[in-house]
Amino acid sequence: MPASTTTAPVALTAKALLLDMDGTIVNSDAVVERCWRDWAVSHGLDPQEALKVVHGRQGYATMAVLLPERPMEINLAENAEMLARETADTDGVVPVAGAPAFMTAIAGLPHALVTSADAALATARMTAAALPMPEVRITAESVGASKPDPEGFLKGAAALGVAPADCIVFEDSAAGIAAGRAAGMRVIGVGPRAAAHGPTVHVPDLTHLDVTADADGSVRITLLPQPQPQDAPAQ
């Protein structure tokens, strides 16, 4: 008997794509975990528990979750230090599988980067991963509230002149998926973190989708069939 079966392709159409960076097109987990483990230990926190909430948020917002009684001005000051450290550390920063081909495929299509990184960190990581920087980008400096607030995605849609309902978000984290859904957008969850947080659809990485432009100018994202394990045979 065959070892697996496949599901039929799923296709979504949109007028614009909004891309998170870390964990979605750039794999920066090694740096994030190094920096935030050190920060957690220095503040007497369990690093494993800290890493459960760092992804997708701006640093000050993560600190506010982990140290809720601490004044925000301290979080903002330490976030500036964290951003400087993360920007200088690109060891292990690589593209997510399929990201180079994906970015090439969308080069002529409406899209924007919507990231919790600031401009310097976004530039450092996109450069380290050898990925092209989108012309339209919403970074930490562009918003007043961190994901899971939808502000960043709404600003990305506005910058592209597209209604939120006509956008597809690509995200990997709980905070980012919540932000995309709160913005009234469909969300393609990318990678192992995304599946548990209710994206519209999920892919293991960017090799599992195909991008085409329809005749009316819309963008078609086709999720390629994925092997589905069969039930174990009865004993």
Active site residues: 20, 22
Neighbouring CB atoms inside 10 A of 126's CB total 23
The whole-angstrom separation of Cα 4 and Cα 229 is 5
Residue 207, SS3 per DSSP: helix
Q: Tokens standing for 22?
A: 């870390």
Q: Where do we find the tokens 């794509």?
A: 17
Give every CB contact of residue 109 below 8 A, 6+ residues apart in sequence: 16, 17, 211, 213, 219
Neighbouring CB atoms inside 10 A of 223's CB total 18
Q: Where do we find the tokens 């997510």?
A: 96
- Could you say which DSSP state residue 203 is in? E
Helix or strand holding residue 84 (H, E): helix 72-88
DSSP bridge pairs for 19: 113, 170
Q: Helices 47-54 and 29-42 sit at what angle, rounded to 10 degrees? A: 130
